Structure 1
Amino acid sequence: MLETSDRDLDYIIHEMIDTVKNSKDEVFHIAEESRKEYERISKELDDLKEKVIIVIEEGDQLEKKSKLARNKLSIVSKNFSVYSEDSIREAYDNAHQMQSDFIVKRDKEKALRERRDDLERRLKSIEVMVERAEGLMGKISIVLNYLSEDFMQISNLLQDAQEKQAFGLQIIEAQEEERRKLSREMHDGPAQMLANILLRSEIVDRTYRKGDTETALKEMQSVRTLIRSSLQEVRRIIYDLRPMALDDLGLVPTIKKYIATLEDQHPNIHFQYRSHQERLPSQYEVALFRLIQESIQNAIKHAEAERIDVILEIRKEQVMAVIRDNGVGFDCENRKEKSFGIIGMNERLDMLGGELKIDTKVGEGTKIFIQIPLTA
C-alpha cells in the first residue's frame, strides 16, 4: 500500500511538472500577443481619431456651404422673374449637390465613429486576456517555486503515506495562497492600468471632439506612458515566476536585477556581496534566490520598512545571507505556526543542510540569517 502511495505521488508530481512546462509557454505567448495587439490597436485608434477630426471639420464646412446654397436657392425662388432659367437651374443643382455631399460626409463620420468604438471595446477585451494569464501564472508560480525544483527531492525524503498526504494538503494551501497573491497583483497592477487607459482614451475622444488638439495630444502621451507601465508590470510578474538570468548569469547578477525591478515598490533596498567563486551549483543558486526573494517581499509587504539591506557572502565552505529591515517587526511567539512562507524557507534549507534564524521584536525591525554549508 505504501509503495502504491509513493508511485501515486510521483505520478502527480510528474503530471504537475508537465503542466508547468505547457503553462509557461502559454503565459509568455499570451503576454507577448497581448502586448503586440495593444500596440497595434492603439496605433490604429490614434490614426482613426485623427481621421474622425478631419471628417468632422469637412462635414462642418459642407454644412455651412449647404446652408449658403439653400439660402441662395430660396432667394432665386422668391425672385423667379429676375433670374434666368440657367441661374435657377445652377442654384438648384448646387444646393442639391452640397446637401448630398454633406449627407455622404456625415455617413462617413458615423462609420468612423463606429469603428473607433469597436477598437475601444477590443482594448477592453484585453482585460480578459490578462485574467487568463492570471490563472496560468498562479499555476506556474506554485509549481515552479515549490515543485519542479524541490519536490522531487522531497518525495524521496518522505517516509510514509500520511506524511505525503499532509504535505499534499500544504501544497494545496500554498497553491491557493499563491493564486490569491497573483490575483491581487494582477488586479492592482495591469488590470487597473488597463481600466485607466480606457478612461483616458474616452477623455482623449471628448477632447478631440471639442477641437482641443493640444490637450488631446498630451492625453495621448499619457495613455502611451500608461501602456508602457502596464507592459512593464506584466513582465515583472512573469519575471517573478522564473528569472531566466539565474540560469544564464548566476546568483549575484540575478539578485541585482531583481532588486532593480523593485525600485517602484521600494527604492531603498541595498545589496552587498562578497564571493570567492563565480557560480554555485544550480540547486544552491535557486534556493538562495528564492530565500532572499521571499525575505525581501515579506519586508516590503509586511514590515513597513524605510530601508532593506541584503548581504550575501559566498565562501568556499559555506554561504551566508542576511536580510534586515528597520520596519515594524513582529512577535515570534504569536507568529502563525502554519505560515507557509516560513515553512517553505525551512524546507529549502533542510534539504541543503542549512539553517534559518529570525531575530525580531515589535517595533525594532527584523533580521533574517541564512547559512548553508557547501559540500565538496
Structure 2
Amino acid sequence: MSSVRSIEAILEKMMEMVGRSKEEIFEIGEESRNEYDTLKSELSEIQEKVVLMIEQSERTELHSRFARNRLAEVSKHFSKYSDEEVREAYEKANDYQVKLALLHQEEKQLRDRRDHIERRLMKLGETMERADQLINQINVVINYLTGDLQQVSHIVANAEEMQQFGLKIIQAQEEERKKLSREIHDGPAQTMANVMLRSELVEKVLDHDGVDKAREEIRDLRKMVKDSLSEVRRIIYDLRPMTLDDLGLLPTLSKYLRNAEERTGISIRFKNLGRERRFPTHMEVAIFRFIQEAVQNAVKHADAAEIQVKMEMKDDLVTAVIKDDGKGFDPAQKKEGRFGLVGMKERINMLDGSISIDSKPGRGTLIMVQIPVKMNTAETMDVQ
C-alpha cells in the first residue's frame, strides 16, 4: 500500500506540473495567434494601399507627362509666352515630378512593410503549429496519467513498462490524427486560401497591368488548383487505396510506384516474378503498407537516385525486396523518434513473417521480407 500511495503522490505532482506547462504553452499559442490575426489584418490593409498607390502613381505619371510636354512646348517657343506662363509650366512639371518621387518612395515603404509582415506571419504560423503539437503531446501524457493505466497497474509491475505501454497506444492514435490534420492544413487548405487571395487580385491586375499579366496570374491559379487536387488524391490514396480491393496487390503497387516516381523524380523500378495471385485482404494491405513505408523511407532519408522493388508470389510464400542506392545507415544504431522500421517489423510479425535489413553508411539499403501463406486461411487464387 505504501508503494501505491507513493505512486499516487508522484502522479499528482506530475499532473500539476503538466497542467501548468500546458497552460503556459496555451498562452504562448494564444499570444502568437492574436498577433497573427492582427498582422493578417494589417497585411490586407497594406495590400489595398499598394493597389491604391499604384493607381495614384499612374495618374500622377500621366499628369507629369502632360506637364513635361507643356514645358517642352513653352521652352521651344519661348518668345510666344509670358514670363508668368513659363514659370507656371516649369513649376507644374517640377511639382508633379516631386509628387511622383514621393509616391514611389511611399510605395516602396509599403512593399517593405508587406514583406516584413509576410515573413513574421510565417514564423508565427510555425510557433502556433509547434504549440499545438506540444499541447497534443501533453494531452497524451494527461490521458495516460488519468486513463485506463490505473486499471492495469496491478498487472504491469514495472513503472517504466507501464508508461511505454500506455503512451504507445494513445500516441499512435494522436499521431495519425495529427498527421492527417497537418497534411490537409499544410496542403489543400493552404493552397485554397492562397487561391482565394490570388483570385481577388486577378481583376485588379487586369485593370492596372493588362491582359498578359492577368493571364499569368490565372495560369498560376490553375497550377495551384491542380497541385491541390493532386495532394488531395495522394492523401486519400495514403489512407486507403481503393484499387487494392478491386484490382489486387500488384496493380495497386505498380500504380503507387509510378506515381511516386513521377512525384519525386527518383527512378523506381518494379518487377514481379511468377504469377499474379490474390491473397486475403489483411495480408495484401500489410504487404502494400510495408513496401509503401520502405519506399517512403528511401525517398525521405536515403537521398537515393534509384529504388528497386521486386515481388515473388508462390503458393506458400510471398517475398518482397526493396533496394536503394542511397547513403545507407547502421541498422544497429537506434535513432530517437524514428519508428518506421519498428512499424514495418510489427506488420510482418503480425503475419508470422521474417524481415532482414542489410545496410551500411554509403552503400545503400536492401530490405527483404518473406511472408508464409497459410493454406487454411490463404484463399489464394490465380488472376486470369
- TM bracket, shorter-chain basis: 0.5 to 0.7
Q: How does 1:186-265 map to 2 (within 5 A)?
A: 186-210=184-208, 212-262=210-260, 263-265=262-264
Partner of residue 342, structure 2: 343
| CA 1:231–1:338: 2 relative to 1, 3 Å | closer
CA distance in 1, matches of 2:162, 2:348: 19
CA distance in 2, matches of 1:174, 1:293: 18
| CA 1:232–1:359: 2 relative to 1, 3 Å | same
CA distance in 2, matches of 1:168, 1:244: 33
| CA 1:362–1:178: 2 relative to 1, 3 Å | farther
TM-score computed with the length of structure 1 as normaliser: 0.53
Cα distance, 1:344 vs structure 2: 2.1
Partner of residue 309, structure 2: 310
Other structure's SS at 1:333 match: coil
- Alignment check: 8 A CA contact 2:266 2:305 kept: no
More off after superposition, 276-285 vs 177-186: 177-186
| CA 1:168–1:241: 2 relative to 1, 3 Å | farther
Partner of residue 289, structure 2: 290
| CA 1:213–1:258: 2 relative to 1, 3 Å | same
Cα distance, 1:248 vs structure 2: 0.6
2:176 paired residue among 168, 175, 178 = 178
Cα distance, 1:291 vs structure 2: 0.5
- Alignment check: 8 A CA contact 1:276 1:316 kept: no
Q: How does 1:295-374 map to 2 (within 5 A)?
A: 295-336=294-335, 339-374=338-373
Other structure's SS at 1:334 match: coil
Partner of residue 84, structure 2: none
CA distance in 2, matches of 1:203, 1:238: 31
Deviations 1:78-134 (A, max 9, x none): xxxxxxxxxxxxxxxxxxxxxxxxxxxxxxxxxxxxxxxxxxxxxxxxxxxxxxxxx
CA distance in 1, matches of 2:264, 2:373: 33
More off after superposition, 362-371 vs 163-172: 163-172
- Alignment check: 8 A CA contact 1:329 1:365 kept: yes
CA distance in 2, matches of 1:319, 1:293: 16
CA distance in 2, matches of 1:189, 1:295: 23
CA distance in 2, matches of 1:210, 1:284: 61
CA distance in 2, matches of 1:330, 1:214: 51
- Alignment check: 8 A CA contact 2:266 2:304 kept: no
More off after superposition, 334-343 vs 258-267: 334-343
TM-score computed with the length of structure 2 as normaliser: 0.52
Deviations 1:204-240 (A, max 9, x none): 2331121602321332132122112201211211110
CA distance in 1, matches of 2:263, 2:318: 29
| CA 1:166–1:273: 2 relative to 1, 3 Å | same
| CA 1:170–1:286: 2 relative to 1, 3 Å | same
- Alignment check: 8 A CA contact 1:320 1:369 kept: yes
Partner of residue 49, structure 1: none
Other structure's SS at 1:308 match: strand
CA distance in 1, matches of 2:227, 2:337: 36
User: C-alpha root-mean-square deviation of aligned residues, in Å?
Assistant: 2.9
Partner of residue 269, structure 2: 270
Other structure's SS at 1:332 match: coil
Cα distance, 1:267 vs structure 2: 3.9
CA distance in 1, matches of 2:198, 2:266: 28
CA distance in 2, matches of 1:351, 1:250: 20
- Select the structure with the greater relative contact order (CA < 8 A; seq sep ≥ 6): 1
Other structure's SS at 2:263 match: coil
Letter of the 1:243 partner, please give it.
P
Letter of the 2:281 partner, please give it.
S
Cα distance, 1:188 vs structure 2: 4.2
- Alignment check: 8 A CA contact 2:312 2:319 kept: yes
Cα distance, 1:337 vs structure 2: 7.4
Cα distance, 1:185 vs structure 2: 3.3
Letter of the 2:301 partner, please give it.
H
More off after superposition, 187-196 vs 255-264: 187-196
Other structure's SS at 1:357 match: strand
Unaligned residue ranges in structure 1 (runs of 5+):
1-134, 136-159
CA distance in 1, matches of 2:303, 2:176: 21
CA distance in 1, matches of 2:177, 2:364: 28
Cα distance, 1:304 vs structure 2: 1.3
CA distance in 1, matches of 2:155, 2:203: 63
Count of aligned residue pairs for this structure pair: 220
- Alignment check: 8 A CA contact 1:309 1:325 kept: yes
- Alignment check: 8 A CA contact 1:309 1:323 kept: yes
